[in-house]
Structure 1
Amino acid sequence: MRITIRPGDTLWYYSQLFGIPLPLLLDSNPSLNPNVITAGSEVQIPGFISVGYTIKSGDSFWKLANERSISIDAILLLNPAVNPNQLQPGQTIGLPERVTSRIIEGKVNYNSSRFQEDLLALAEIYPFIKTEQIGESVMGKPLTELRIGRGDRVIHFNASFHANEWITTPVLMTFINDYALALTNGEAIRGVQTLPLYNFNTLSAVPLVNPDGVDLVLNGPPQSVRDEVIELNNGSMNFDGWKANIRGVDLNNQYPANWEIEQARKPQVPGPRDFPGEAPLTEPEAIAMAELTGSRQFDQVYALHTQGEEFYWGYLGYEPPVSAELAEVFERVSGYQSIRYIDSHAGFRDWFIYIYRRPGFTFELGSGVNPLPITQFDKIYQDMLGVFLVALYRR
């Protein structure tokens, strides 16, 4: 919600008026100098929207404010051109309304179009969430990172490296929505106060690493590459088994962490799954994630996959001791099985541990056959909620 600054107003006053923590207000308006704000400038108030209202006979700002438990001054700020003493029936004004429920619906087929719509909605209501395009997919779809927080400790989550594991994207987006909702409403999540997490951490998320592949699974082949993709899929129009990007390269087999081992034992040609490419980091999606990691220097990474209700956290002994401590807590809060080592190389998490010697985790959400049915969404989200919180809470 946008309001216009009046002479004498301060961001601190707006923080008190709307009940929004000052750090969120400052981060929602990075171009404003909080010590010298200029009358006539625009301020974004996170966690609020303006709702149109038609004046009825007998209405007054006092009456409307009292009915909605909001301040008269909040209504005045939103309607600077309206004379509150001369309201006319039929006149339209804006009323500030606090957002108190999710705007993201996770229990749907969550393709790249839905993701982009939700990104815009989140950025509008929660402008302290920063979005940045980090690259493009093979077909030119944007790869987007979201960042939340002002801390030096950078914790990264990603989802949908694999196309038919797309349910991981709405799971991650739902947590981001719930986190922002709790921050702007001063609420705890499972007893954990969120503002200290915001001040201590920066949460980085790339919720849709493989948009072309996800759209292929959910929507079928795009006309521009229809014949090529069907041929890679052995002539089938059923893409439920497709994990790769649109070129038939498995993005989670693309990283230079003993890539040669995977190259020797995995398929030698592009296809629905497991082909590691002709060399490491040939695909734009994998390159974008590697470059982002180098730029942000993540303290921890969490890759969301499906399925198996287990998680992996070691790689050839390169993982630091704190990984074992975290794994013990994650096992307890999620109910998932902790597995230190698996016979796997060239994955994003493998590479992160191998190069940076920092904690990295791969979570296999849910159980069954990919793509998992959306009916598992609620259970998966509740299983993972403790993991999200512990990742941000544990030092």
Structure 2
Amino acid sequence: MLKIFNLLFIIWIFFFPLKGHACIVDTEKIYTYDALTEDLMELSKMYPDLITYQTLTTTPFGRNVWAIKVGNGETTILINGAHHAREWLTSALLMKMIETYADAYQNGHTVEDLHPSILDKVSIWFVPMVNPDGVTLQQTGLNAYPIGFHPFLIEMNEGSWNFERWKANLFGMDLNRQYPANWSHLKGVNRKPSYQFYKGTQPLEADEARALVDFTYQIKPEIAVSYHSSGNMIFWGYHQWGLTHTTKFTRDYYAIAEKVSELTKYPIDEPESYQQGGGYTDWFIEEFSKPAFTVEIGQLIEDRSLPLEEFLDIWVKNKKMGLFLAERALKRKNEK
């Protein structure tokens, strides 16, 4: 009798998961574009009143750059990940945030000390995988693409058939060197398409970067964040330290950057007198004069993706980020 009861209980849990139990996003295996797309469709069905999505652009190889909104507020923030192909663990992190916040909102839970009711006033827009083609190449290699394209990819990869170190999009452009801020004067960049560091022939040449810029103009977020890996570091500000916006910048520094550092335990890399530029957050700060920062997750490693074993520690440090920034964004908006 007990065995029958246990079997029935297992069947019930399988078909009718317990409320409050988030179980869609699997962070224990390589997180692919296909997994992200499947998870997005499932989550949007599970939380139709909270999660909506749209396509920012579709790559020539048929992959969508998804933008996912969590919340129904007019005030917005924007968080993106995986500009660089080998940094796909940021995509898993952002999708886990989406699932966790939606689950907490629907079931009246808090995420530690933060209540998801803020999502009634602030919408969090996520672009979890800016570079889906590059991610797919890095994870699966040449077989994901037409054979006629292989010689070009191998050439950009310096003759190697191992794409574990790949950062660029599929046309060899480093997407986080594609934004207009100081683009003409970037240093340390490649002069031709490559697995990393090629800035292109002009800003926003890459469809992925241009689509993200157009979308940013559309939603006008109060705060923007780019997740990268690795180094356990926060890069804050761009050409602002000591300039005419000192009072405003200092306020944002202590109200947001310093608090994010306390939240994540990541140190802040303070702006230098000269900064490289070319990145999404550099452009956002320059264009909108609003707070933006880059978060480098995970222990510093070179030329490869972070190991999956690091995810739990990364999640513990970052899981409140979206809700915290939503609260700060609403405060900033109200202060205006």
| Structure 1 stretches lacking a partner, 5+ long | 1-67, 69-93
Counterpart in the other structure of 1:160: 82
What is the CA deviation profile of residues 130-166 of structure 1, one whole-angstrom value per residue up to 9, with x for unaligned ones?
0111111242311111111122220110000000011
1:218-229 to 2 correspondences below 5 Å: 218-221=139-142, 222-224=144-146, 225-229=149-153
Higher helix share: 2
CA distance in 2, matches of 1:345, 1:164: 21
Q: 2:69 aligns with which of 147, 150, 153?
A: 147
* Partner-residue secondary structure (3-state), 1:145: strand
Larger relative contact order (CA 8 Å, sep ≥ 6): 2
Tell me the equivalent position of 2:314.
Answer: 380
Find the structure with the greater CA-based Rg.
1
Q: Distance in 2 between matches of 1:309 and 1:290?
A: 26
| Native 8 Å contact 1:164 1:240 kept in 2 | yes
Q: Is the alpha carbon distance of 1:373 and 1:351 closer, same or farther for their aligned partners in structure 2, counting shifts above 3 Å?
A: same
Instruction: Name the SS of the counterpart of 1:189 in structure 2.
Output: coil
Residue 7 (structure 2) aligns with: none
The structure 2 residue matched to 1:344, chosen from 241, 266, 276, is 276
Contact 1:138 1:283 in 2 (8 A): no
- Residues 313, 323 of structure 1: 8 Å contact kept: no
Note the alpha carbon deviations across 1:294-315, whole angstroms, 9 max, x for none: 1111111010000111111110
Contact residue 138 and residue 246 of structure 1 kept, 8 A? no
1:18-97 pair list within 5 angstroms: none
Q: 2:115 pairs with 188, 193, 199, which one?
A: 193
Letter aligned with residue 107 of structure 1: E
Shift of 1:111: 1.1
Aligned pair in 2 of structure 1 residues 209, 96: CA closer, same or farther (>3 Å)? Answer: closer
2:84/2:168 contact within 8 Å kept? yes
Letter paired with 2:285: I
Residue identity over aligned pairs, in percent, reads 30
User: What is the alpha-carbon distance in structure 1 between the residues aligned to residue 16 and residue 199 of structure 2?
Assistant: 54
User: What is the RMSD computed on CA atoms of the aligned residues?
Assistant: 2.0
C-alpha change, 1:105 and 1:226, in structure 2 (3 Å) is: same
Q: Residue 212 of structure 2 corresponds to which residue in structure 1? A: 289
Quick check: 139-148 or 288-297, which moved more?
139-148
CA distance in 2, matches of 1:183, 1:300: 22
SS state of the match for residue 119, structure 1? helix
Aligned with 1:324 (options 226, 246, 253): 253
In 2, distance between residues paired with 1:132 and 1:188? 27
How many corresponding residue pairs? Answer: 303
- 2:138 is aligned to 217
- Three-state SS of the structure 2 residue aligned to 1:181 is helix
The residue aligned with 2:265 is 335
Q: What amino acid does structure 2 have at the position aligned with 1:230? A: I
Change (3 A) 1:179 1:279: same
Name the counterpart of 1:106: 27
Equivalent position amino acid for 1:299 in 2: E
Check conservation: 1:104, 1:177, Cα contact below 8 A. Answer: yes
Letter in 1 for 2:253: A
> 1: distance between equivalents of 2:199 and 2:207?
14
